[in-house]
Amino acid sequence: MLENKVKLVIWDLDDTFWRGTLAEQETIVGVEENAEILRALSERGIINSICSKNDPERAKAQLMELGVWDYFVFPSISFNPKGTAVAEMIEAAALRAENVLFIDDNPSNLEEVKFYNPGIMTALPRDVLETLLDHPSCAGKADPEMTRLKQYRNLQRKFEERSVTTLSNEDFLRASGIRVEIDYDVDANLERVVELINRTNQLNYTKKRLETPEALEEFRTQLNSFGYYAGCVRATDRYGDYGVVGFFLGRRQPRKKFLIHFVFSCRTMNMGIEQYIYETLEKPWIEIAAPVSYGLNTHDRIDWINTDNAQEVVSAEKNRKLVLLGGCDMLQLASYCSNDRIEFVNGAKQGMKIRYDDPSFVLNDRELIRTCKTLREFPWWTYEDAVRFDEAVARANLILLSMWPGMNGDYCRLPNGVRLRCDKPVWKILESEPEAWVEDNFEILQLDDSERLELTVAAFDAIAARSQSNCNIFVLGCYTRGIRKQRRLGEPNPRLGRREGYNTACRSYCEEHSARFHFVDVDLIISPEHLVDRTHFSRHGYYMLAEHILAKIGKQEYEPTPGSAVTTSNTRKVASALEVSA
């Protein structure tokens, strides 16, 4: 009985794959029906192997004459016991015995193989071959190019070299030139992703299947919801290209990151790729559904993946030093642009949301921040935060800025001259403080839109002055297309003019300083169907923004020249763009 999905079929030869016994006959007459089964299984992505007690050279010559030798991987043709030979074959193919079918005409061989490989499916030829291709367990997946067979040939070559080398396992991995990349275009690989989630067991760390229409629909919803991040993992080494071998889906919240799906193909077993990706994702929380065949902390240190002497692979993810300044919605965008990043986004202290997307955070004199008594009593950004930001900007290759929130809320001046922006949630928390203390420490500044924009532009100047001359700085505009839709329905939208004016001013600034600054017109890049609410986008929306930014960087051939550093601009001139647009 075929109780499980078949991923590997192991054939005996004598009186099974062909008629007669090779050692007793001059020539062998092949069974054409079996050859057709072999080809059909290969075109379904099901792998075939051999376990036969025969002379290996003569058997190989016979199979080559029949034109089928190249359809087999990990062949075991010798006079060794079949039970242990099959066990070694399954281990080399990194499969579970439960997904292997062994066909042999000798019942004692079937029992021996079952003893050494608990869970394996076995059958006599007469009981299984006639209906094998019609059985649902052998449906496989259409693979007319036999890509899976080619990938297992690469595994076989690696296994053979590993078997004869004197290198340690980790030294062998270092010599293998393993390269991995994260492909964020999940939609283009959705069929493969669903296959991994549903068919993989050994390296499926969460085992949340997508086997019902409801589960698949929920999965699609998560992929297109705000706060979720996902990626496919591709792998190559000097033995070949393994294609998409892994997938992750996680959710990021202000105080927690966790994984919903984390799954890898068994073809990458013992390569350390799972642990490498887990560490690359900064070890988010995961509830592992046991059993798994490979832990996420198996190696003390993984230094054999993406090394400098390995073959270069073009990847959507670059190891640029990235600084991010903006709201929490920017975190998803940042993850598509670089692993090496420092984030100045919404934080939390003592129950208060800390906003770094405040021009004052950039502009305040650092010594004033250090000596400000009010800031020490008030849970807000600190002197240490400001120093960390300055140091990060000075090292950055890429800076992403989203400063629209600076156009809203109240600006206040503290007693020693430090300025900061307070929005409604801050004032609500301050209601619990003594009224006299608030009045003594928070002087509300009456700033109009032009003055607010002047501060924003001055922050751009300050960031440019502190960064390297070849650093790319991207300024994200704010999204207006959702608001435009409301206006066409006849609803008044006073915020629309302010948003359009902000975009106009930021675009103008970036055009004036085009050697280093780039305006990201969110309206042109993201269509309304990717809008989750007025300010947040789906995962695919952020991926589209990241693609735009990475493409812009890839095309740029900027070389700094004397005098190319950005100097303080006429902020009043740029601020006037707001008044003109409004």
CB distance 541 to 522 below 8 Å: no
Count up the domains in the chain and report the number: 3
Confidence of residue 564 (pLDDT cuts 50, 70, 90): very low
- Report the alpha-carbon distance of residue 115 to residue 84 in Å, rounded: 10
382 and 236, same structural domain? no
539 and 398, same structural domain? yes
- Report the alpha-carbon distance of residue 227 to residue 331 in Å, rounded: 9
Q: CB under 8 Å to 68, separation ≥6 — which residues?
A: 30, 35, 38, 39
78 and 189, same structural domain? no
177 and 144, same structural domain? no
pLDDT for the residue 573: 36
Domain presence at residue 567: yes
495 and 406, same structural domain? yes
Least confident of 349-358, 363-372, 486-495: 486-495
291 and 248, same structural domain? yes
Q: Average per-residue pLDDT in the chain? A: 85
Domain presence at residue 519: no
pLDDT for the residue 94: 85
Domain that holds residue 231: 169-316
pLDDT for the residue 492: 58
Could you report the per-residue pLDDT of 398-417, keeping only the tens digit for each? 999 999 988 988 999 999 99
- Strands 398-401 and 443-445 come out as unpaired
Of residues 246 and 566, more confidently modeled: 246
Choose the final residue of a domain: 298, 316, 334.
Answer: 316
Choose the final residue of a domain: 287, 316, 345.
Answer: 316
- Report the alpha-carbon distance of residue 181 to residue 231 in Å, rounded: 10
Confidence of residue 233 (pLDDT cuts 50, 70, 90): very high
Q: Check: pTM over 0.75? Answer yes or no.
A: no
pLDDT for the residue 149: 94
280 and 385, same structural domain? no
- Report the alpha-carbon distance of residue 138 to residue 43 in Å, rounded: 11
Question: What percent of the chain stands above pLDDT 70?
Answer: 88
pLDDT for the residue 341: 80
Q: CB under 8 Å to 512, separation ≥6 — which residues?
A: 569, 574
243 and 119, same structural domain? no
Least confident of 148-157, 244-253, 526-535, 552-561: 552-561
450 and 355, same structural domain? yes
Least confident of 227-231, 342-346, 377-381, 555-559: 555-559
312 and 328, same structural domain? no
